[in-house]
C-alpha cells in the first residue's frame, strides 16, 4: 500500500513552527512583512493573493497587498518595487504573475532586490542555486524538498526524473536535488516534450516529479514498482457527473500509479499547500537574514 504524502498535514506543521519563529522575532522588535502586488482582475490571482494574506495574518506576520488596475504602466510598477526595495520594514516582495501583456515580467522581476526576492525567481538567486551558494529557493521546489525530507525519503544516489522544464518548478527542483547537500544528492534527468518516449525515462525513475501541466500524462504503465511520485500538476478537466461540472487532477493518473508507487502525493492536497508555506518561510528567513543551502 502506497504511503500518501500529505502536503496539508506538513504545511500545518510548518505553520505552527513559523508562528513560534514570528513570536521570537517580535520579542526583538522585528515583524516579518510581505508586500504583494497584484495587477488586474484575474480570478485565480486574486484567490492566491488572498490566501497568502490570510496565512500571513494567521501566523502573526504583517502583509501589504497593493491591487492595481490592468492599465498601470511598467514605470509605475517599477516605482512601487523600488520603494519596497528601500523600505526597511518590508522583508519580502512578491509580484503576482501573470502580469498584463504590456508589462515586461522579466524586467519587473529583475528590479526586485534579490535579498527580498522570496519567490526565488531573480536570476541572481537562480544562479546561486545552480552554483550551490546560499540563496532563496523558488517556493514550489522548496516545498517538494521539504515534503521529501520530512517523509524521510532518501534521494542520495537515486534516479530522479523531473517531467517539465519551467523556470518555476522543473529547472529549479532539478538544480536543487542534484546538489551535494543533505536530503538531495540525487541523479537527475530532466524530461520534456521533445522526448521521443516519455515512458522510456519515467520507467527508469526511482522518484518522479511531474510538473508539465498535462492532465494524467503519466499512467500506471509508465512507472516501475516502488516509485515515489510527486505530482505538481493542477489541471481542471470536465466532469459532468460532479456538482461543479469539473474536477481537479494532476499530471499523474493517480488511481493507476497508486497501485505501483511506494509513496505518492494526492492532487489536490499534496504539493499545493506547501508552496504558500514556503513563501512565508522564505519571508521569515529574509527577516532573519538567513538563506538555504
* Domain extents in the chain: 28-113, 139-272
Which three cell numbers mark 113?
A: 532586490
Q: Which pLDDT band holds residue 135 (cuts at 50, 70, 90)?
A: very high
78-107: burial string, b at 16+ Cβ within 10 Å, e else: bebbeebbeeeebbbbbbbbebbeebeeee
Q: What is the mean pLDDT of residues 187-203?
A: 94
Looking at 33, 52, 116, 171, which residue is catalytic? 52
282-292, pLDDT tens digit by residue?
999 999 987 66
Which three cell numbers mark 221?
A: 504503465
How much is the pLDDT for 292?
61
Q: How many residues does the chain have?
A: 293
Looking at 116, 117, 119, 222, which residue is catalytic? 119
Please state, in angstroms and rounded to a whole number, the distance separating the CA atoms of residues 117 and 110.
10
Q: Which CATH number fits domain 28-113: 3.40.50.10860, 3.40.250.10, 3.40.50.150, 3.30.420.40?
A: 3.40.50.10860
Which residues, including other chains, have CB under 8 Å from residue 121's CB and lie 6 or more apart? Answer: 109, 138, 167, 168
Please state, in angstroms and rounded to a whole number, the distance separating the CA atoms of residues 234 and 215.
8
Which residues, including other chains, have CB under 8 Å from residue 149's CB and lie 6 or more apart? Answer: 183
How much is the pLDDT for 119?
94
- Residue 8 a catalytic site member: no
Q: Which pLDDT band holds residue 229 (cuts at 50, 70, 90)?
A: very high
Helix axes 7-27, 272-287, angle to 10 degrees: 20
Q: What is the mean pLDDT of residues 196-224?
A: 96
Q: Phi-psi bin for 269: left (phi > 0), alpha (psi -120 to 50), beta?
A: left
Looking at 33, 96, 117, 206, which residue is catalytic? 96
How much is the pLDDT for 289?
87
In this prediction the pTM is 0.94
Q: pLDDT at residue 34 above 80? A: yes
Q: What is the mean pLDDT of residues 71-87?
A: 97
Please state, in angstroms and rounded to a whole number, the distance separating the CA atoms of residues 157 and 140.
22
- Whether a cis peptide bond, with omega within 30° of 0, leads into 268 is yes
Q: pLDDT at residue 15 above 80? A: yes
Fold: same for 28-113 and 139-272: yes
Fold of 139-272: Rossmann fold (3.40.50)
Which residues, including other chains, have CB under 8 Å from residue 44's CB and lie 6 or more apart? Answer: none
How many whole angstroms from its chain centre is CA 98? 15
Please state, in angstroms and rounded to a whole number, the distance separating the CA atoms of residues 3 and 164.
24
- Residue 23 a catalytic site member: no
Q: Mean pLDDT over all residues of the chain?
A: 95
Amino acid at each position: 500500500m502506497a504511503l500518501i504524502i500529505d502536503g496539508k498535514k506538513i504545511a500545518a506543521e510548518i505553520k505552527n513552527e513559523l508562528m513560534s519563529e514570528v513570536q521570537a522575532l517580535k520579542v526583538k522588535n522585528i515583524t516579518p512583512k510581505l508586500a504583494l502586488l497584484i495587477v488586474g482582475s484575474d480570478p485565480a490571482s486574486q484567490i492566491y493573493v488572498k490566501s497568502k494574506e490570510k496565512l500571513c495574518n494567521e501566523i502573526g506576520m504583517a502583509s501589504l497587498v497593493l491591487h492595481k488596475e490592468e492599465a498601470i504602466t511598467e514605470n509605475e510598477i517599477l516605482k512601487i518595487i523600488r520603494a519596497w526595495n528601500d523600505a526597511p520594514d518590508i522583508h519580502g516582495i512578491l509580484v503576482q504573475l501573470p502580469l498584463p501583456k504590456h508589462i515586461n515580467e522579466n524586467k519587473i522581476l529583475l528590479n526586485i532586490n534579490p535579498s527580498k526576492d522570496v519567490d526565488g525567481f531573480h536570476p541572481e538567486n537562480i544562479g546561486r542555486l545552480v552554483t550551490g551558494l546560499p540563496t532563496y529557493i523558488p517556493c514550489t521546489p522548496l516545498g517538494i524538498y521539504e515534503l521529501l525530507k520530512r517523509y524521510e525519503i532518501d534521494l542520495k544516489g537515486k534516479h530522479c526524473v523531473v517531467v517539465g522544464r519551467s523556470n518555476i518548478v522543473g529547472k529549479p527542483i532539478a538544480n536543487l536535488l542534484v546538489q551535494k547537500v543533505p536530503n538531495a544528492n540525487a541523479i537527475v534527468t530532466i524530461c520534456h516534450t521533445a522526448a521521443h518516449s516519455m515512458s522510456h525515462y519515467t520507467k527508469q525513475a526511482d522518484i518522479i516529479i511531474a510538473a508539465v501541466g498535462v492532465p494524467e500524462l503519466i499512467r500506471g504503465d509508465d512507472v516501475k514498482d516502488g516509485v515515489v511520485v510527486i505530482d505538481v500538476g493542477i489541471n481542471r478537466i470536465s466532469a459532468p457527473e460532479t456538482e461543479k461540472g469539473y474536477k481537479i487532477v494532476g499530471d499523474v493518473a493517480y488511481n493507476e500509479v497508486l497501485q505501483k508507487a511506494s509513496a505518492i502525493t494526492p492532487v489536490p492536497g499534496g504539493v499545493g499547500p506547501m508552496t504558500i508555506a514556503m513563501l512565508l518561510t522564505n519571508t521569515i528567513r529574509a527577516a532573519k537574514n538567513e538563506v538555504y543551502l
